[in-house]
Amino acid sequence: MMITTTTLTRAAGLAAAAGGLLYIAVQINHPHLDAAFTMTTEYAVRETMKILMTVLSLIGITGIYLRQVRQTGALGLIGYVLFGIGYLAILCVQVVGLVVLPTLAASQPGYVNDVFAVATSGTPTGGIGALQTLIQGGLAYIVGGTIFGIALFRANVLPRWAAALLSVGAVATLATSQLPPLTQRLFAIPVGIALIGLGLALWREQRTSRRLPGAVSSQRDPVRAN
């Protein structure tokens, strides 16, 4: 199979949609996070899904940005970079959660519980070191998601409802610090739906352009068509 820009863009669209689906799926019936839970198979499965979700979402937003890099301008670049940094921070935290925390759960359950307290906007009883800075790096996800959504909305290339929902969902995450941990997870749904909408729209657009290259070329270059 020949790898083309269209193929890569379609793949990015599917990655964004899959990332959005996983983002919603991992929130369903999510148990309370504590040291005991880290030693279960369910925890390992959920953390693995979260890692996959962040990787797919990062690929997806990269494809979404590159598709409309000219239309989004400087605002799009700023939003994409911050959003990407946020996802990278989340990825690092999830890897630590999968690999490191289960090994500490038996010997240092207090530390593990403090990590989860910080991650869910709770109040830890002690310090967790540099990991707290990494967790707080997720703020870039909120700011970046908001700006990126605004840039996509202004570009008006992909569905504007999905772009608006991305911004709203990212901003709404700020309110989760005042809510119980399990209720906080509901705020992932708008962002998940937005990624699904943007990803599928990108995939369909590239699929159409592949089938009708002449029609798309005529629409994008009216002078040449004449």
Domain ranges of the chain: 5-218
pLDDT in tens, the chain (226 residues): 678 888 899 999 999 999 999 999 998 888 888 999 999 999 999 999 999 999 999 999 999 999 999 999 999 999 999 999 999 999 999 999 999 999 999 999 999 999 998 888 778 888 888 888 888 887 899 999 999 999 999 999 999 999 999 999 888 877 666 666 666 677 788 999 999 999 999 999 876 655 555 444 434 443 333 3
The first and second tokens of residue 120, run together, are: 């869910």
**DSSP letter string over 147-184?**
HHHHHHHHHTSS-HHHHHHHHHHHHHGGGGGGS-HHHH
Q: How far apart are CA 18 and CA 31, in angstroms?
A: 23
What pLDDT score does 113 carry?
94
Specify the pTM: 0.85
What pLDDT score does 220 carry?
44
3 — alpha (psi -120 to 50), left (phi > 0) or beta? beta
Burial class (CB in 10 A: 0-12, 13-18, 19+), 81: middle
Tell me 126's DSSP state: S
CA 115 to chain centre: 21
